[in-house]
Chains A and B, each alone.
Chain A
Amino acid sequence: MDESCGKCTPCRAGTVQMHALLDKITSGDGTSRDVRDLENLCAVVRDTSLCGLGQAAPNPVLSTLHYFKSEYDDLIGRTSDVSTGSEASDMSTGSEASDVSTGSEVSNA
């Protein structure tokens, strides 16, 4: 995000939004829509960036979405505002992932 040269829109503006979405999700304020937007945004940045920086920047995020989807599901908790359809995770994470601290309790208010 801070290494972007600023020439192309997806990298300059897109990585900033990716970071904002990740912040929102990891702080417990994220929704399933945010996770979906993050996933779509990663594709945009990866496929339309002018150089390898923008093209590769989404890779770590896409990896976590692929292999640790259940953690995202835990983080968005019960504040789902969009029907995600079938989101059953078929990825066996192998390790115990229960050490992840989700920060504040997700509020239902």
Chain B
Amino acid sequence: MRERRPTLDVSFDGVEVEAFAGESVLQCARRHQIEIPSLCYLEGLSVWGGCRVCVVEVAEDPRPRPACATPVTADMEVTTHSPRLKEYRKAIVELLFAEGNHVCAVCVSNGNCELQDVAVSVGMDHVRYESRSPLRLIDASHPKYLFDPNRCILCTRCVRVCDEIEGAHVWDVGSRGRHAVLTTDLNRPWGESSSCTWCGKCVAVCPTGSLSYQGSAVGEMQHQPDMIARLATARREGEWIDPEEFS
């Protein structure tokens, strides 16, 4: 049963709204249909705060803050869209596109991709940075699913959902920095994993075409992050919550 939580007042771009004590700036904004783009955040999973797309400005704080990882405070004044934030978000998404090998035209998630959606919403129409063109090998060893690290943005939703919701902890991030890469078990092919339960939650939450169903053609992959959000929240709250509350 959801308890009544103490509330406090915060403002988004000058508009005052009611916030629950303990929730994040992003959660509060989403509840009030105030748009703040994000990629690594997924309701129901622990906060990662790594993509930095959800950065907002908080009055009297000189540094932009990630909305997903910043708790609301009394009388907080948040700016969700400023010229500076727009430029920063656009640059961050461009960095993601230049970092991997994102070829939408041949991707299973073309048209159903959160990275594409965020790129559109932040006004990205080209990538100013040179593509790094890293060599990243596909893992097609799993009978049911395909992992293409060229499309991975290291949001770690798969890592978190497998660890926190399924409990198998198949996924981890190996190496570090620009060489960071998703690994399964002890860096073995996914198909050889002794912990994977084939539940598909990782595929369901992936925001790009990195994780998909084997045999998907271009544009065919439909992810289901909201289903996982509802599942995870139901487990935590002890009741099914209307998924519209988090989209």
- A: residues with CB less than 8 A from B are 1-10, 12-14, 16-17, 20, 37, 40-41, 43-44, 47-50
Q: Which residues of B contact A49 (CB under 8 A)?
A: 52
16 contacts between A and B (CB under 8 A): A1-B177, A6-B175, A6-B176, A6-B180, A7-B154, A8-B50, A9-B50, A10-B92, A13-B178, A20-B129, A37-B128, A40-B91, A41-B129, A43-B88, A47-B64, A48-B52
A6 touching B92 in the complex, CB below 8 Å, given contacts A48-B55, A48-B64: no
Q: Which residues of B contact A4 (CB under 8 A)?
A: 176-178
**Which residue of A is nearest B173, CB measured?**
A6
Binds A, one of B12-20, B94-102, B232-240: B94-102
Q: Which residues of B contact A40 (CB under 8 A)?
A: 87, 91
In the complex, are the beta carbons of B96 and A9 less than 8 A apart? yes
Main secondary structure on A side of the interface with B: helix
- Residue B4 lies at the interface, judged by CB distance under 8 Å to chain A: no
**Which residue of B is nearest A2, CB measured?**
B177
In the complex, are the beta carbons of B178 and A17 less than 8 A apart? no
**Which residue of A is nearest B97, CB measured?**
A13
In the complex, are the beta carbons of B178 and A12 less than 8 A apart? yes
- Give the number of A-B contacts (CB < 8 Å): 85
Q: Which residues of A contact B153 (CB under 8 A)?
A: 9
B220-238, CB < 8 A from A: none
Q: Which residues of A contact B87 (CB under 8 A)?
A: 40, 44
- B: residues with CB less than 8 A from A are 48-53, 55, 63-64, 66, 84, 87-88, 91-92, 95-96, 98-99, 128-130, 132, 153-154, 173, 175-180
**Which residue of B is nearest A49, CB measured?**
B52
A8 touching B178 in the complex, CB below 8 Å, given contacts A13-B98, A20-B130: no
Q: Per a CB cutoff under 8 Å, which of A1, A16, A44 touches B88?
A: A44
Q: Per a CB cutoff under 8 Å, which of B50, B66, B88, B98 touches A17?
A: B98
Using A13-B99, A16-B178 as known contacts, list a sample of 13 further A-B pairs with CB atoms less than 8 Å apart, ordered by residue number in A: A4-B178, A5-B177, A6-B173, A6-B179, A12-B99, A12-B177, A13-B178, A20-B130, A41-B129, A44-B92, A48-B64, A49-B52, A50-B66
Q: Which residues of A contact B177 (CB under 8 A)?
A: 1-6, 12
* B150, chain A: closest CB distance, angstroms: 14
